Structures are given as structure tokens and as C-alpha cells.
A and B are shown apart, each in its own frame.
Chain A
Amino acid sequence: MKPPNFEPFLSILHLFQQSPVPLDDIYSSDGDTAEIKFKYTTPYTKPTKEADTNKNDAAPGQVEKSNDKDSTIGGSNNDGDDPTSPLVEKHLEQLFLSFYRKSHAVDQVDDPQPMEITLEMTPVDAELHRLICFPFLSRKASEQDDTRRQDYFRMFELIREDGPQAFFQRFWDFADRMQAERGVLETTVMADVIVDCIEVFQVKDLTSNKSIQGDGIERTVRHVIRMELDVTWIEDESADGGDWEIGNWRVADIDDQLEGKSWVRIK
């Protein structure tokens, strides 16, 4: 049984329900296993000047469906300022969006590169690699004011120099500061999970018909995914002073794609 904090993942159901596109294009599941089948071809036509100037109007993409009923799904939402998905961290989302924009020449005046992306994936095994937390520091707080993050990790770096007393003094001072500045105490939990997948992946340049990434051969691959969760301390005198309120799990990174851009680097 899934813990309740995975519930937000179910909330995207309503998005699917509103979709005019036939089902089973990308994702399927038989209850125990899940499968992603994604095939996408970037447009061949050179975007018009209007398309170049209006960067929010992307060239339409075409999804090839298994039932051979192709449909054009245009008007991709790629303004970059779109409210982030509750499931995926915005930096990761932007990474994919960046690829989309470049492959559709949204930000360029040159021809778009015609290519075909094939991704078929079935997770078959998973293993927890690491589970850690950062007491009293959250991603939100860090993004709001970067000095918080710097001060926090500096505390740990100074342990050897200053000793435990100074560390704890700083630690509680930091908690005081967070409580004063944000009004709440938050802690971010990170889980790194190794997922084995049976996968087919290929990005093919349709001009030269050469493979740019992958080879289209099915093999078992290993992915390392990072999940994040915020927990917030809720004061409640009737319940032992309070308790942690569990937030929502979200995908923060895949295979270290955001290395160097992550809010915290774990060595």
C-alpha cells in the first residue's frame, strides 16, 4: 500500500481525464508493472517568422501512436513560467522544456533539427540507495534566500575547526532564524532510488538517419532517481508539542542530470 504522501501523483488523473487524446499512447500499467512508450518526431518544416518572434507558440509536435491514428497535438505550453507540476521539480521540467525549445528552434532562427526520439521503458526492480534529511532547511527556503543554504552547509564545514559547542550554537541559531524568517520549521528529505528498467532508447537524426543517442536496442539499464519531500513542523500543545506534517513527494532529479544545478550537492 502506498503511503498517503504519494497521493499527489494520483492528482494528475484529472489532467488525463480532460485530455482529448486517445489513451495508451505513452503510459500503460497492468497493476504490477508500468510501461512507458514514447515516440516523438520533431517537425520538419522551418518555423515562420511569426513563430520565431512569438516564442510562446511552439511548432506543433506529432505523436506517433500505436493504433496508427496519428494526431497532431500542437500548442505546447513551453513558456517556462508555467506553474510547475506537483510531481516534478521545476529545474528538471525546464531541462526537458529546454530540449523541446531547442529541437523546435523556438529560440533560434535556424532550421530545426529533424529527429526522432524513441523511449520505451518498463521499471522492473527498485532499491533504495540513500535516504537523508536536512533538518531545518528546505528547498523553498534555500531558493528564497541563497545565504540560508550557504550558511547551513558552512556550519557543517566548520565542525572540525570550531568543535561541537559552536556547531550546536550555530545550528540552533539557524533554526531560530528560519523560524523567525519563514514562520515555520521545515526539513527536506531526499531519497535516492536505483531503478532497473528494461529500456529501448534512441534519438535519431532524420536528416542523416544516424543515431545521436542510444541505439534502439532493448537492454536492462539502471537509473538513479532522486525524490524529495518537505516536512513541516506544526506546533500543537495537545500533541506532545507538535508533529511533523508530511508534504508531497516529487521527482527532483534523474541520473544526476541536474548536477551543478541542484540546490544541494551531495558528494
Chain B
Amino acid sequence: MLKNLLFFASKTIKCSTVLLAWAPLHEIITGCCSPTNSLILLLKMSRVVKNAATQFLAVRSNRRVFHRYHNHTALPGSDMIRCFSSSGTPDTNDGGGSSSTTSSKSSSARSSLRFPWRHSQHMLPKVEMEAARMQGNWRGQLSMAIWERSTALLVKNDFSQVLFGRQWRQDLADNSAWAWSLALASLLAKTFKGMCLPKKLWNGSYFRI
């Protein structure tokens, strides 16, 4: 009996923690968030993704308790809503477009044959447009920042570094660039059958990045 009570109490506390964490985001979206609350808000939001899953599994058998708090829970910001779109249609066919099978089609296909590569000094227009849209939109920026940090914690970055530092962002970017160059080399090698390996890769110096 005591064990059951303790279990129930712990689940209730956990559930409340999550709901408290979600609640301030609603304040951000509705514009009621004061600057002094921002730090507290970030602290609370930091573990929300992990806790959401924990609590989902923990409280789904006791949903009535959870739903009592729904009016106080947060919604993703308008920018997050805009961010998510169902209009993307996955295409499991040829990634480069449909292939031509007739001679006439092949002629036109050849004239439009394009190596899938962008070589430009300018930023991708989509990214520029996004930056312009977010400029001056502090609520959108804050909402995205919170989402970003929650995601960073989800992939097990250090709690304090995510909240108070930016090095994790640079590390992730550097590692991604490193991984991308290796992936691209392997992609070109695989597609065009030019399996190659730098000598430096053998002696381990490559892995220091």
C-alpha cells in the first residue's frame, strides 16, 4: 500500500514538473513572458522533451490527472507551426526525377542533365528568407531557441553547456561538416566507383576533430 502511494506521489510530482515546464512556453507565445522569467523558463524547458516521453508513458494510464492541466500547457509558437508543414511529399522513386525511356525524351533529358550540386557564394535563398522573417520577431526567436535547446538536451549534450554556452553548437556544426565531407566522399566513391582513402585516415590523426 505504502509502496503504491509513494509510486503515485512520485508520478504526480513528475507530471506536475512537466506541466510547469510547458506552461511558460504558452506565456512566450501569448506575449506575457517578462524578461526576468526567461532564465527560469529556459531552465524549466530544458528537460521537457525527455520528460514528455517519460510522463507520457507514466501517466497515460491515469490521463484524467494529466488532462486537468491542459489549459495551462503550452503550444508551439506560430513560427513552429509555420515550420511544420505536411506539404512535403516523399517520393520513393528516382530522386533526380523520372527517367526517360524514349529517344526523344532522352534528348531533352540530356540537355537538362544536371549534376546535383549547388556552387554559389550566396546563401541558399530559403535560408535568407527565413532569417529575414525571424528578424525582429523576438518571440519567434525565443521559441526556436527553446526548441533548439530542448533538442540539444535530447541528444545528450551537457545541461549547463546547452543553457549557458554556445560551444556545443560549434561542436555539432564542426562534427557535421566533418561527417558530411566523409559522407560525400563515400557517396561519390560509391556512385562512381572510386573507392579511395586518405593515408592520414590510417594513422588516426584524422579523428582528432
Interface residues of A (CB under 8 A from B): 2-3, 5-6, 9-10, 12-13, 15-32, 34, 36, 38, 40, 61, 63, 73-78, 80, 85, 87-88, 90-103, 105, 107-110, 113, 115, 117, 119, 121, 123, 126-136, 142-143, 146, 149-150, 152-154, 156-157, 159-160, 164-165, 167-169, 172, 175-176, 185, 187, 189, 191-195, 199, 201, 203, 212-214, 219-225, 227, 229, 231, 233, 235, 240-244, 246, 249-251, 254-267
Complex Cα distance, B89 from A91, in Å, reads 12
Pair B195/A16 contact, Cβ less than 8 Å: yes
Q: Which residues of B contact A38 (CB under 8 A)?
A: 188, 192, 194
Q: Specify which chain B residues have a CB less than 8 angstroms from the CB of A159 in the assembled complex.
A: 75-76, 81
Q: Which of B53, B83, B155, B186 contacts A267 (CB 8 A)?
A: B83
Q: Which of B188-208 contact A (CB under 8 A)?
A: 188-201, 205-208
Other-chain contact of A224, B56, B81, B124, B197 (Cβ < 8 Å): B124
22 residue pairs A–B, Cβ–Cβ below 8 Å: A2-B175, A16-B196, A85-B190, A87-B182, A93-B95, A93-B190, A96-B191, A102-B109, A107-B99, A107-B101, A132-B151, A195-B173, A212-B114, A214-B117, A222-B123, A224-B124, A231-B155, A240-B54, A241-B58, A251-B184, A256-B126, A261-B89
Q: Provide the residues of chain A in CB contact with B181, threshold 8 Å.
A: 27, 34, 36, 121, 123
CA distance A157 to B183 in the complex (A): 35
Are A266 and B85 in contact, with the CB atoms below 8 A?
yes
B11 → A minimal CB distance (Å)? 9
Min Cβ gap A66→B in Å is: 10
State whether A201 touches B119 (Cβ < 8 A): yes
Asked whether, in the complex, the Cβ of B120 is within 8 Å of the Cβ of A222, the reply is yes
- Chain B residue nearest to A258 (CB atoms) is B95
Other-chain residue from A18, A108, A117, A169 in contact with B100 (beta carbon distance below 8 A): A108
Which residues of B (64-111) have their CB < 8 Å from a CB of A? 66-67, 70-71, 73-76, 80-92, 94-97, 99-103, 106-107, 109-110
Chain B interface residue count, CB cutoff 8 Å, equals: 107
- Contact A13-B50, Cβ < 8 Å, known A34-B178, A175-B56, A191-B172: no
Is the Cβ of B207 less than 8 Å from the Cβ of A132? Answer: no
Q: Is the interface of A mostly helix, strand, loop or mixed?
A: mixed
In the complex, which of the residues A90, A193, A231 contacts B173, with contact meaning CB atoms closer than 8 Å?
A193
Q: Is there an interface contact between B177 and A123, defined as CB atoms closer than 8 Å?
A: yes
Name the B residues within 8 Å of A233 (CB-CB).
53, 57
B73:A2 contact, CB within 8 angstroms: no
Give the Cβ gap from B104 to chain A, nearest Cβ, in Å.
Answer: 9
Is B186 within 8 A of A15, CB to CB?
A: yes
Interface assignment of B135: CB less than 8 Å from any CB of chain A:
no
Inter-subunit contact A222/B172 (CB<8 Å) = no
Residue pair A61, B205 in contact (C-beta under 8 Å): no
Pairwise interchain contact B96-A102, C-beta atoms closer than 8 A: yes
Residue B180 at the chain A interface, CB threshold 8 Å:
yes
Considering the chains assembled together, what is the distance between the CA atoms of A125 and B60 in angstroms?
A: 46
Given A2-B207, A101-B99, A108-B100, A242–B183 Cβ distance below 8 Å?
Answer: no
Residues of A within 8 A of B97 (CB): 98
In the bound complex, what is the Cα–Cα distance between A75 and B186 (angstroms)? Answer: 17
| B150 contacts the other chain (CB 8 A) | yes
Minimum CB–CB distance from A22 to chain B (whole Å) comes to 8
Distance in Å from the Cβ of A260 to the closest Cβ of chain B? 7
Q: Are A13 and B148 in contact (CB under 8 A)?
A: no
CB within 8 A of A195: which of B117, B177, B199? B177
* Residue in chain A with minimal CB distance to B107: A110
Distance of A220 from chain B, by nearest CB (Å): 6
Does the CB pair B188–A222 fall under 8 Å? Answer: no
B58 touches A225 (CB 8 A): no
